[in-house]
Amino acid sequence: MKQTYAQLLRKSPGAMIFGANQFFFSAMGQAFLLSMFVPQFIELSGMDQKGVSYIYTAAALVSGFLLSFVGPMVDRYDIRKFAYFSGFGGALFCILMANVHNPWMLLFGILGLRFCGQAMMPFISMTAMGKHFGPNRGKALSFSMLGLSFAEMLIPGIIVGALKICDWKTLWYGIAMIEGIAFPLITYLLVGRIPDFCKVQNTASKADNKTFIKQLFRNPVFLLMATIFAFSAFLNAGFLLNHNLVLEARNWSLEWYALAFATFGVGRIVGSFSSGPLVDKFSARTLAPFALLPLSVAVAIISLIPNQWSLPIFLFILAGSLSISNVVGTALWAELFGVDRVGTCRGLGSSFLAIATALAPTIFVFLYSWDFQNAMLIILAVQVVLSCGAYYLLRAKEKVVVA
């Protein structure tokens, strides 16, 4: 039975808030929080800015591949155990970050925070919402992503204020206490006493699960859609990490970029709340071929319109596309492969995401060094080709075998 956001919150408040809570506490491994401590990392590790960025890229890449191995386990075990593990594990790595004094400690610290925070917690949230809410999974997925939006709005200011009254190491110990004590307790209070929450339905043997994974990597639908859902993150990483090249090409100031970036958070919320109801109404399979359409519009705007107002419009649509890819992607895996395989599909899809975000900065530097407008038009052409392929496999070819 299709329900509104209000009805879902009244019927399943614990499960709904659990999803948003996972996203909110994932802040410990998100780039916006880690970037606030880069000066301290440089000082204590003895590295320069470039060296720290290499460590961050390596940690992000390894984290994505680790999730591709851990992800399938979520389909066979109680998902709440993984939530508790993420909190306790994240707390330990927060303590490690408070004691960093060489590059190796920094690498393992960032890797642990990226995996437990940025990778596992959103993964648990999206997988749980996709499994638990059935025909209302679109709205549940949209609501859960509000947690990250609130974290992005609130936590940077809290960090800045906290650093005025305590040193940064003490702050990391405080974050460790929150992640290791408050987060598991809140998780238990929200869903710990719900007996059928994300009930394990995958009773297949390990051999059967391995066979399914092999089938996925030979499945054109999975390979193409995983690529499409990673493309938004690819463009996001390539643009944001090389925004100085874009500003130089368009002769825009850094101050204007900072002002325009305010639309990014708004776009994430709008994209999330608009895609959820659409998924519930039309199905993810119907919408998936058009997942890159907003992003194509954004790329066309910033490549063809040199006016400075194209920047906030681009950032707004880019953020919305990230939300759309997450919501439609999770719902699509549930529709095509069943709720008992959502964790496996999302976990394996994370390897595409890891590769895309790791390669994006280098590819974008190469493209921008050639010509900004032509580079963006090439990206637009790739998006059109991917979208046409998705339409053929998911819409025109209705009887495509998906497993």
Residue 305: which pLDDT band, with cuts at 50, 70 and 90? confident
Q: What is the mean pLDDT of the chain?
A: 85
* Fold equal for 1-200 and 201-398: yes
- Check residue 265 and give its pLDDT: 80
User: What pLDDT was estimated at residue 4?
Assistant: 82
Residue whose tokens read 């386990």 = 73
Q: Residue 188: which pLDDT band, with cuts at 50, 70 and 90?
A: very high
* pLDDT score of 43: 83
Domain boundaries, the chain: 1-200, 201-398
Which pTM was predicted? 0.81
Of 52 and 329, the one with more pLDDT: 329
Q: What is the mean pLDDT of residues 217-230?
A: 91
Using an 8 Å Cβ cutoff, are 387 and 292 in contact? Answer: yes
- pLDDT at 397 > cutoff 70: no
pLDDT tens digits for range 191-223: 888 777 766 555 555 667 788 888 888 899 999
Q: What are 27-64's pLDDT values in tens digits?
A: 998 877 887 888 888 887 777 777 877 888 888 889 88
Cα–Cα distance between 332 and 342 in angstroms, integer? 9
Backbone angles phi, psi at 164, to 5 degrees: -80, -20
pLDDT recorded at residue 355: 81
What's the confidence (pLDDT) of residue 202? 53
Query: What pLDDT score does 144 carry?
Result: 92
Mean pLDDT, residues 61-74:
85
What is the model's pLDDT at position 200? 58
Give one DSSP letter per residue of 172-230, joined into a string.
Answer: HHHHHHIIIIIHHHHHIIIIIT-TTTT-------HHHHHHHHHHHTT-HHHHHHHHHHH
**Phi/psi zone of residue 283: left (φ > 0), alpha (ψ -120 to 50 degrees), beta?**
left
Range in 46-60, 70-84, 171-185, 324-338 the model is least confident about: 46-60
Q: Per the structure block, which two tokens stand in for 1? A: 């039975």
At 204 the pLDDT is: 53
Greater confidence (324 vs 193) lies with: 324
pLDDT tens per residue, range 247-300: 888 888 888 888 887 888 888 889 888 888 999 888 888 999 998 999 889 888
Q: Which CATH number fits domain 1-200: 1.20.1250.20, 3.10.105.10, 1.10.3210.10, 3.40.50.720?
A: 1.20.1250.20
In angstroms, how far is CA 367 from the centroid of its own chain? 25
pLDDT at 169: 92
Specify the fold of 201-398. Answer: Growth Hormone; Chain: A; (1.20.1250)
**Lowest pLDDT segment from 125-129, 217-221, 338-342:** 338-342
Q: How far is CA 216 from CA 66, 77, 184, 347, in A?
A: 18, 21, 33, 12
